[in-house]
């Protein structure tokens, strides 16, 4: 009899311990489910459990991983613009007490196509003449698109800027290599280099506005000498900005779907685009040498924007979420780090390379 009693007691203790262990296992599994991690289902339980969103698992006995429900496209389009956090102040060390100083734009700078991102910045203005002129501030960035990164392909956008002190003019250019041809990045870089060189070296009596076709013919001739037809091609947009005492004269030449826009008082005006005219095809160099040309006399406070289609296409008709956001952000010249953030906007659709040159046409320069 004593031995039977001992056996019953031991059996009861073991049963209690097993119950406690099973309760702790279920409690831990429940915690994992509530925090959106992995909810495990015991084999043979007759089902795969539920995800944190309440849906049944499709594979009984397998781990169920929570995935958020995708928002419909219409909801994204109609969503109000998000409020951006306040701008971070510059990271200052030591005794520096002044504002961030803007450096002068180099006389000639080109961000070539390649595997890396690139940027440049600076100001320029004419030092010659009796009357002071408007100061220009330049921001430029060439960012490798996520689609190119996934394909292990280099960035094919190129851009550049040059200041001509003889004429008191700024020249900016953006080229976008055609993705269907492997050497198009090098073609885009060569097109920008040639455009800026020809703008700076043209005869003194050759006006930029009237020289558009000659300019693009010369660029195309150089590309044909350097590249075969199957090596690459590129779109190109080039602009001249001539600041004066009360704003600037802006002239734009363009071939293809790289675009030029003007932002003034939070309103966008298209200066050059060739959308939806040739389907998915676009005019390009060196095949097409007749640019479309526009000229504007713009007031202080305007912003000239040249961009490849990976950026400019997202401006849409000037009323897209990107256009509305930049209309607020670009009312004054942004810090270069903020400009990079603006160009690198997050969007699943616009995954191509992004090349942008923006010129802020500032207030009248001081008399002294």
Do 273 and 221 belong together in one domain?
yes
Q: Is residue 223 predicted with pLDDT exceeding 90? A: yes
| Across 89-93, 99-103, 312-316, 333-337, least confident range | 89-93
Q: Which of 65, 83, 117 is the last residue of a domain?
A: 65
Q: Which of 65, 87, 115 is the last residue of a domain?
A: 65
Residue 259 in domain? yes
Residue 75 in domain? no
Do 276 and 143 belong together in one domain?
yes
Q: Is residue 45 predicted with pLDDT exceeding 80? A: no
Q: Is residue 253 predicted with pLDDT exceeding 80? A: yes
pLDDT of residue 51: 35
Range of the domain at 35: 2-65
pLDDT of residue 362: 86
Q: Is residue 48 predicted with pLDDT exceeding 90? A: no
Q: Higher pLDDT residue, 279 or 189?
A: 189
Do 285 and 213 belong together in one domain?
yes
Question: Rounded distance, CA 262 to CA 250, Å?
Answer: 10
Q: How confident is the model at residue 285 (pLDDT cuts 50, 70, 90)?
A: very high
The CATH number given to whatever domain includes residue 352 is 3.60.40.10
pLDDT of residue 266: 92
pLDDT of residue 295: 96
Angle between helices 184-201 and 212-226 (to 10 degrees): 140
Residue 136 in domain? yes
Do 22 and 160 belong together in one domain?
no
Residue 38 in domain? yes
**Cβ atoms 315, 265 nearer than 8 A:** no
- Token digits of residue 185: 């990045």
Q: Is residue 40 predicted with pLDDT exceeding 70? A: no
Do 155 and 262 belong together in one domain?
yes
Q: Is residue 366 predicted with pLDDT exceeding 80? A: no
pLDDT of residue 234: 95
Query: What would the DSSP string read from start to end of 177-230?
Result: E-TTSTTHHHHHHHHHHHHHHHHHHS-TT--TGGGHHHHHHHHHHHHHHHS-TT
Q: Which of 10, 36, 65 is the last residue of a domain?
A: 65
Do 247 and 323 belong together in one domain?
yes
Do 55 and 201 belong together in one domain?
no
Do 55 and 190 belong together in one domain?
no
Give residues with Cβ within 8 angstroms of 95, minimum separation 6. none
Residue 96 in domain? no
Do 152 and 31 belong together in one domain?
no
Do 51 and 180 belong together in one domain?
no
pLDDT of residue 320: 86
Q: Is residue 155 predicted with pLDDT exceeding 60? A: yes
The rounded percent of the chain whose pLDDT value lies above 90 is 47
Residue 86 in domain? no
Do 321 and 184 belong together in one domain?
yes
Q: Is residue 289 predicted with pLDDT exceeding 50? A: yes
Q: Is residue 93 predicted with pLDDT exceeding 60? A: yes
Q: Is residue 147 predicted with pLDDT exceeding 80? A: no
Residue 128 in domain? yes
- Average pLDDT score over the chain: 77
pLDDT, tens digit, for every residue of 163-178? 999 999 999 999 999 8
| Count of domains observed in the chain | 2
Q: State phi, psi for 309 to the nearest 5 degrees.
A: -65, -20
pLDDT of residue 62: 34
Residue 71 in domain? no
pLDDT, tens digit, for every residue of 56-84? 444 333 333 323 333 333 433 444 544 55
Query: What pTM did the predictor assign?
Result: 0.72
Do 48 and 193 belong together in one domain?
no
- 267 Rama sector, left if φ>0, alpha if ψ -120 to 50, beta otherwise: beta
């Amino acid at each position: 009899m004593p031995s039977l009693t001992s056996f019953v007691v031991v059996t009861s203790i073991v049963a209690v311990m097993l119950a406690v262990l099973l309760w702790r296992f279920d409690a831990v599994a429940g915690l994992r489910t509530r925090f959106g991690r992995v909810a495990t289902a015991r084999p043979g339980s007759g089902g795969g459990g539920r995800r944190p969103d309440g849906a049944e698992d499709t594979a009984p006995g397998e781990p169920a991983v929570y995935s958020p429900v995708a928002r419909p496209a219409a909801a994204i389009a109609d969503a109000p613009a998000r409020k951006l956090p306040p701008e971070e102040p510059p990271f200052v060390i030591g005794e520096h007490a002044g504002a961030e100083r803007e450096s002068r734009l180099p006389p000639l700078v080109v961000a070539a196509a390649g595997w890396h991102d690139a940027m440049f910045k600076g100001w320029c203005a004419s030092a010659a003449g009796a009357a002071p002129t408007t100061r220009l501030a330049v921001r430029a960035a060439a960012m490798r698109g996520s689609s190119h990164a996934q394909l292990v392909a280099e960035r094919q956008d190129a851009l550049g800027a040059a200041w001509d002190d003889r004429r008191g003019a700024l020249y900016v250019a953006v080229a976008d290599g055609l993705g269907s041809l492997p050497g198009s990045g090098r073609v885009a870089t060569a097109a920008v280099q040639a455009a800026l060189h020809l703008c700076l070296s043209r005869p003194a009596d050759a006006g930029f506005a009237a020289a558009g076709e000659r300019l693009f013919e010369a660029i195309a001739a150089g590309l044909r000498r350097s590249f075969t037809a199957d090596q690459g091609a590129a779109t190109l947009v080039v602009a001249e900005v001539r600041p004066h005492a009360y704003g600037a004269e802006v002239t734009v030449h363009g071939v293809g779907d790289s675009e030029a826009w003007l932002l003034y008082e939070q309103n966008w005006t298209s200066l050059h685009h060739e959308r939806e005219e040739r389907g998915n095809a676009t005019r390009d160099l060196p095949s097409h040498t007749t640019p479309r040309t526009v000229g504007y006399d713009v007031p202080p406070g305007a912003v000239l924007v040249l961009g490849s289609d990976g950026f400019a296409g997202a401006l849409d008709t000037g009323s897209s979420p990107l256009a509305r956001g930049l209309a607020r952000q670009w009312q004054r010249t942004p810090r270069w780090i903020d400009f990079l953030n603006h160009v690198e906007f997050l969007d699943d659709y616009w995954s191509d390379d992004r090349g942008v040159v923006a010129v802020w046409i500032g207030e009248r320069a001081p008399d002294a």
